[in-house]
Amino acid sequence: MSTRQLTLALSKGRIFEETMPLLQAAGITVTENPETSRKLILPTNDADLRVIIVRASDVPTYVEYGAADFGVAGKDVLLEHGGEGLYQPIDLNIAKCRMSVAVPADFDYASAVRQGARLRVATKYTQIARQHFASKGVHVDLIKLYGSMELAPLVGLSDAIVDLVSTGSTLRANRLVEVERIMDISSRLVVNKAALKLKRERLQPILDAFAKASNP
């Protein structure tokens, strides 16, 4: 493939939507809507730039192997994936949320921790959770889930969850309370290391426009 051709990996939903204004700032328009189109490769107004639609957690893999030259992924996804092989030049300040520990409203988390209880924690984010509880010296049994973590404590699968929170309404609707904020999360631009060298001329103006539009 020529050094002019670029492939950008995005996930549907909030990341796609919040990346559009940044692409716009670089003069790029995606000419098909991934929510209504079944296509996984979307054209843009630039014949040399295409967008591929992948699962949010698969973005780092496509970029690492060079199947996409660059992509947008949450800090949560990047920490779980491991950042090797990826260049992460820009915090795009989009898809913001936080990673938190939450428990049922009637569970006394603070005293359980004080008493050194062993906690069962359900999460999709096992790396982040393991690191967090280890740094606090809290013993946990991690239960890996792939979605709907909020359900786990309600049916006795776990004492606590580690999940992303933005408005807090999902927690509230399930009578859970946030007891610890682990870290703030936003989405980052990730670039394939080889592409950065071989396609710098093509990539740099887009990276510059993204940086300017996302960190004004």
- What x-and-dash track marks residues 127-166 binding ligand PRT by CB under 6 A? --------------------x---------------xxxx
Residue range at the interface with ligand PRT (CB under 6 A); choices 42-50, 70-78, 102-110, 127-135: 70-78
Phi first, then psi, for residue 69 (nearest 5°) are -80, -35
- CA 93 to mean position of chain CA atoms: 12
Residue 99 near ligand PRT by CB under 6 A: no
What span, in angstroms and rounded, lies between the C-alpha atoms of 38 and 107?
Answer: 44
Q: Which residues pair with 141 in a beta bridge?
A: 120
Q: Which of 57, 88, 126, 174 binds ligand PRT (CB under 6 A)?
A: 57
How many residues lie near ligand PRT (CB under 6 A)?
Answer: 23
Residues in contact with 103: Cβ distance below 8 Å, sequence separation at least 6, in sequence order: 109, 153, 159, 160, 161, 176, 177, 179
Minimal distance, residue 48 CB to ligand PRT, in Å: 27
Helices (H), the chain: 14-25, 59-64, 75-81, 109-114, 126-136, 169-173, 193-198, 200-214
- What x-and-dash track marks residues 26-55 binding ligand PRT by CB under 6 A? -----------------------------x
Q: Which of 63, 97, 128, 162 binds ligand PRT (CB under 6 A)?
A: 97
Quickly count: other Cβ atoms within 10 Å of residue 151's Cβ: 14
Nearer to ligand PRT (CB atom), residue 135 or residue 167? 167
Nearer to ligand PRT (CB atom), residue 29 or residue 166? 166
Residue 15 near ligand PRT by CB under 6 A: yes
Residue 207 near ligand PRT by CB under 6 A: no
Quickly count: other Cβ atoms within 10 Å of residue 138's Cβ: 19
Minimal distance, residue 106 CB to ligand PRT, in Å: 20
Q: How deeply is 21 buried, as exposed, middle or buried, from its count of CB atoms within 10 A (0-12, 13-18, 19+)?
A: exposed
Instruction: Give the interface with ligand PRT as residue ranges (CB under 6 A).
Output: 11, 13-15, 55-57, 74, 76-77, 95, 97, 147, 163-170, 185, 187
